[in-house]
Every structure is written in C-alpha cells, then in structure tokens.
Structure 1
Amino acid sequence: MVAKLNEFIPDAVRLSQIFSQATAPTFFLGAIAAFVSLMTSRLSVVIDRTRVLNAIPEDDQRRAHLRADLERLRRRAELLNAGILSSLRGGLCATLLLAVIFLTEFMGFKYAYGAGLLFVIATYFLGVGLFRFAQEAKISVSAADEHL
C-alpha cells in the first residue's frame, strides 16, 4: 500500500516537469486577465459617459444634441461586454487545460487527451474577444467625445 502511494506522489524532477509544461497555459491565462482588465476599464468609461449624457435634462437645448451619442455608446458597451465574456470563456478553457495537465502528469498518464483541443478552444474564444475589441475600437472615437 505504501509502495503504491509512493508511486502516486511525484518526486521533485516530475514536479519540475509538470510546472514547465504548465508555463505556457499560465502565461496565456495571464494575458487573458490583462486583456479582460483593459476591456473592463474601457467599459467603465463608456458607462460613465452614458450616465453623464443621460443626466442631461431634456430642456437643456445647449447640450441636448449630445444625447444622440447614446446609441453609439450602447453599441460600444455591447461589444466590450461580448469581448469580456468571450475572453473569460477562453480563460476558463485555459484553467481547465492547466487542471488537465496537472492531473494527467500527477496520475502518471502518458498523454493529456483533449489538451490540444482545449488550447484551440481557449485561443478561439480569445480571438473572438479580440475581434469584438477591434470592433469597439473602430467606433470608439467620435467628435461627440470632445464635447460635454
């Protein structure tokens, strides 16, 4: 029983191999976290500007024209939200990939079945998030941003 338990617990060399294999998905996960943080900060700015425009009274003729920008801001918020959610899905896949790598190595299996597929799915979701971010960036600058 003790001998089987010793075979199950990895030694320092095997742990080192496990950690080296987990490096790439860990950096990928860190990049996703930074990207989500960037999009979240942009979403916060969009929401703040939307609140400011919604606070303009209807009878304020001098600034009422600025409210026309609300539709563009809504679209930006939708794109950023979609990008955040897609990137988070990629992050979940990368986290699952890390778990698969650790469990596979810890259990002593030769191959991590599905690891490649998980990486492709994570990359796909991050790509969708980047595409949504590019769409938002394309419509983000407007002359209306200069006024208020």
Structure 2
Amino acid sequence: MLSLAPSLDQLSRIIGSVAAPAFLLGAVAAFISVLISRINRIIDRSQFIHSINDADRERSYLKADIPRLKRRAELLNRAVLYATICAIVTSLLIIVAFVSAMLHLSHEYGVAIFFILALAFFLLSLIDLARETRIGLHDFDHHA
C-alpha cells in the first residue's frame, strides 16, 4: 500500500523548493496593499474634484482631470487583478508541490510552469503600475 506521508527527506526538499514561491507570495500580498492604497488615493482625489462647485472658477478647471483619474483607476484595478491571479497561481504551486510529494509524484515540471505563470502575471501587474505611474505624473496632481 502506498503511504501518503512523505519522508522527512522529501518534506525537506519540498519545503526548500517552495521557499522562493512563499517569499513571492508575501511580496505579492504587500504589492497588492500598495496598489489598493494608490486606488484609494485616486478615489479620494476624484471625490474631491466631484465636490467642486462649477461656480468655483479657481478650482473648476480641475474637473478636466476626471478622465485621467478614471484611466489611472482602471490600470490599477487591472494591476490588482493580475497580482491576485499571481498570488492564486503561487498558492496552487505550493499546494501542487506538497500534494505531489505526498503522492510520490514527480512535480518539477508542473511547479516550474506554475512559477513561470505566476511571474508572468506579476510582470503584467508591474507593467500596469508603471503605466499608471507615468500617467500620474501630471500637472493636475500639483494643484489643490
């Protein structure tokens, strides 16, 4: 009968092989927190701009910034989605590694594919953050 309990040596190897994905998972969680913080700042700014009375000639020009804020929020929203998918794939990677060890299955190729996939989604998230940051460097952000 096949034992489901991995040996201490197998468990040690699996823990060693999932150390990098575990660190990636922690980094992605912190990254998602940063992205959400940026979204919250955009929402606050948008609410402030929407509260400006059209008769306020000193600040009414800021309303022209609303489409740009909307685009930034869309990019950040997509970055959060990609980062969340990265976290899910990384979690699946860790699960597959442990289940494979318990079932005495070779898991190297599957784990490698999951890791590459997770990093690809993380890269997409970083690209959207970079795009949002470039849009964010604008004159409107230095007023009011």
The answer to whether the aligner puts 1:117 opposite 2:113 as a matched pair is yes
Q: Which ranges in structure 1 are unaligned for 5 or more consecutive residues?
A: none
2:88 counterpart residue number: 92
1:136 to 121, 128, 132: 132
CA RMSD of superposed structures (Å): 1.5
* CA–CA distance in structure 1, aligned partners of residues 59 and 23 of structure 2: 47
* CA–CA distance in structure 2, aligned partners of residues 110 and 125 of structure 1: 25
1:42 counterpart residue number: 38
Offset of residue 112 of structure 1? 4.4
Alignment check: 8 A CA contact 2:96 2:107 kept: no
For residues 120-139 of structure 1, the C-alpha deviation after alignment (integer angstroms, 9 at most, x for no partner) is 21111111101100100111
Supply the AA of the counterpart residue of 1:54: H
Offset of residue 18 of structure 1? 2.1
Query: How do residues 9-88 of structure 1 correspond to structure 2 at under 5 angstroms?
Result: 9-88=5-84
* CA–CA distance in structure 1, aligned partners of residues 128 and 92 of structure 2: 24
Alignment check: 8 A CA contact 2:97 2:107 kept: no
1:145 counterpart residue number: 141
2:123 to 117, 124, 127: 127
Alignment check: 8 A CA contact 1:90 1:125 kept: yes
1:107 to 103, 112, 122: 103
Identity across matched positions, percent: 35
Alignment check: 8 A CA contact 1:104 1:112 kept: no
TM-score (norm 1): 0.89
Larger radius of gyration: 1
Offset of residue 113 of structure 1? 4.7
Offset of residue 111 of structure 1? 3.1
Q: Mean alpha-carbon deviation: is it higher for 44-53 or for 105-114? A: 105-114
Task: Tell me the matched-pair count.
Answer: 144
Supply the AA of the counterpart residue of 1:21: S
TM-score (norm 2): 0.92
Offset of residue 98 of structure 1? 0.6
4+ residue runs over 6 A deviation: none
